[in-house]
Amino acid sequence: MPSTIVTLDAPLDMHLHLRDEVMLRNIAKASAATFSGALIMPNLVPPVSSKEALLAYKKRITEAIGEEHFTPYMTLFFKSEYDRAFLESVREELTAIKLYPAGITTNSQGGVSGFDIEALRPSLEAMSDLEIPLCIHGETNGFVMDREAEFVSIYEKLASAFPKLKIIMEHITTKESVAALDRFENLHATITVHHLLITLDDVAGGMLQPHLFCKPIAKRPQDREALLKVALEAHPKVMFGSDSAPHPRHAKETCGCAAGVFTAPIALQLLTELFDTHRSLEHIQAFISGNAQKIYGIAPLSKKVILEKEPFRVPAEYNGVVPMYASEEIAYSIKGVRHG
C-alpha cells in the first residue's frame, strides 16, 4: 500500500515561547525549519513591555533563525498602564498583546491582578479601536483543575464589555472554554497539540512525567474530547498554538519542576497523525494556518511542508531540552520543505 503523503502550506504556530540568549539560539530553528511564522510570547525576564524591547527581541530572533523563511509575529506583555499614545506608537510593530494574570505561570509576576474592568478600560478600549488582539492566559488562582473553567466568567465579562476587541483564549483545555467560543462573537482560541493528546492521567496517573507538566495542566477525558471536536472540524474560531515552552532538562527533572512542554520539532508530525487517525485530514490546513490567517488578518509566506506516514523516532533531546515523546516513535516524518 502506498504510504500517505500530506502537504501543509504555511503552517502557523500562534503561541510559541522562543526564550532568549543561549536557549533562543538553541531552539529557534526547531520552529523556523517547518513553520512559516509564529506568535512569539513576551514572558522574558524582564517581560517585553516597551517598543525598544520588542524591536530588540525581534532582532535577536531574526539572528537566531538565520536563513530560514520564518516570520516572528511579535507581542507585548500587557500592562494596564499602556495608554493610547503608546499603543498607537507601537501598533505597526506588533500582532497582539498578551495578558497574564499575575503570578499564574512562568515569568508572569508583573501581570494583572483582580480584573477590575474599569481599571483596564482605557488600555482595552484603545486596543479595541486600534484593532490589536488581546491574547489571555485564562486561569484564576483557584484549585488547579478548576482554574480555567473559573476564568470563563472573566472572559465573558471582557468579551461583553469590549465587543469589538478580538480576544484569544490561549491554550484552552476545558469543555467550558470550548462552549464559550460560540457564545461571544469576539472570543477565539488556540489549542496545543499536547492537550489534544493527553489528559491528567498521562501526567500524573502513573509515574510522574515532568516533561508533560505545563500550565494549564491537562484535564479530563471529556475536556480533551471537546477540544478534539473543534480542532478536528477546524471550527473557524480555533487555531493551532503549540505553547511549546522549552526549559533546560535540569529545570524539569528536579524537585520543583518548571511548567512547559517542548513540542516545536514534532508538532506538525503529531497533528498530521492525529488528524489522519480521526479521518479529518481535509481540515488540517484550516487548523494549522487558514483559521489563524483569518482571525489575525495575516498573510504568511508560502512554505510547503511534506509529511509522510513513515515512523520517526523522536530524539532524546534537542540541545539539552527534552521534547514530548522523547525517544519514542511517532507515525509521521517530515520529508521536505519547499519555499515559494
- What does the binding site for ligand NCD look like in residue numbers (CB under 6 A)? 17, 43, 105-106, 137, 214-215, 243, 245, 259-260
Nearer to ligand NCD, 122 or 248 (CB): 248
> Could you tell me the smallest distance in angstroms from the CB atom of residue 153 to ligand NCD?
20
Q: What CA–CA distance (Å, rounded) separates 234 from 238?
A: 7
**Which of ligand NCD, Zn ion, none interacts with 214 (beta carbon under 5 to 8 A by kind)?**
ligand NCD
> Could you tell me the smallest distance in angstroms from the CB atom of residue 17 to Zn ion?
6
Nearer to ligand NCD, 68 or 243 (CB): 243
Quote helix, strand, coil % in the chain, to nearest 5.
40, 20, 45
Name residues whose C-beta falls within 8 Å of residue 308's C-beta, 6 or more positions apart in sequence. 3, 4, 5, 6, 332, 333, 335
Q: Does 243 bind Zn ion (CB under 5 A)?
A: yes
Q: Which three cell numbers stand for residue 125?
A: 478600549
**Which of ligand NCD, Zn ion, none interacts with 224 (beta carbon under 5 to 8 A by kind)?**
none
Q: Could you please report the per-residue DSSP string of 154-196?
A: HHHHHHHHSTTS-EEE-S--SHHHHHHHTT-TTEEEEE-SHHH
Q: What are phi and psi of 323, to 5 degrees?
A: -85, 165
**Which of Zn ion, ligand NCD, none interacts with 212 (beta carbon under 5 to 8 A by kind)?**
none
Nearer to ligand NCD, 18 or 331 (CB): 18
Distance of CA 196 to the CA centre of its chain: 13
**Which of Zn ion, ligand NCD, none interacts with 259 (beta carbon under 5 to 8 A by kind)?**
ligand NCD
With contacts defined by CB under 5 A, name the span among 141-149, 152-160, 202-210, 242-250 that binds Zn ion: 242-250
182 classed as catalytic:
no
Active-site residues, by number, are: 243
